[in-house]
Amino acid sequence: MTTLQKGDKAPNFSGKDQDGNIHTLADYKGQKLVVFFYPKADTPGCTAEACDLRDNFERFKANNYALLGVSADSAKAQSKFKTKYEFPFPLLADEDKSVIEAFGVWGPKKFMGREYDGIHRTTFIINEEGVIDEVISDVKTKAHAAQILK
């Protein structure tokens, strides 16, 4: 599914967050960037994952990490999600799926015997030089920060 691997240059993405601000890979040069893709705002698994990252945000900051959440939800849905759970990091509203497709996390999924296309829950850890240090495809939603901050 995900074609990007450790050692690959991260895609030079550009996307709008919940407030309409543009975020690009270049904005994060000089710090580590965690880009986490999740299927849908304010659903149980996505909420558990984002809240775990929120609860460990100071640890991320102390280790020079920035966090960026991405889903295909609208800016309005992302804004409500961010406000409801007081996330200290931006959430990209990637409705045209340009960032999602650049990272290769859109594709066929199965749920309760049904096949459909959707976002595969995947996290990319990008180093200060814009190179992918790690790809986490087996995301533990309730303990995701521990997977990243080993």
Name the DSSP letter for residue 27. G
Per the residue annotation, which of 33, 41, 46, 119 is the catalytic one? Answer: 46
Ramachandran sector of residue 80 (left: φ over 0; alpha: ψ -120 to 50; beta: rest): alpha
Tokens of 91: 């959430």
Rounded CA-CA distance 81/95 in Å is 16
**51: annotated active-site residue:** no
Known catalytic residues are 46
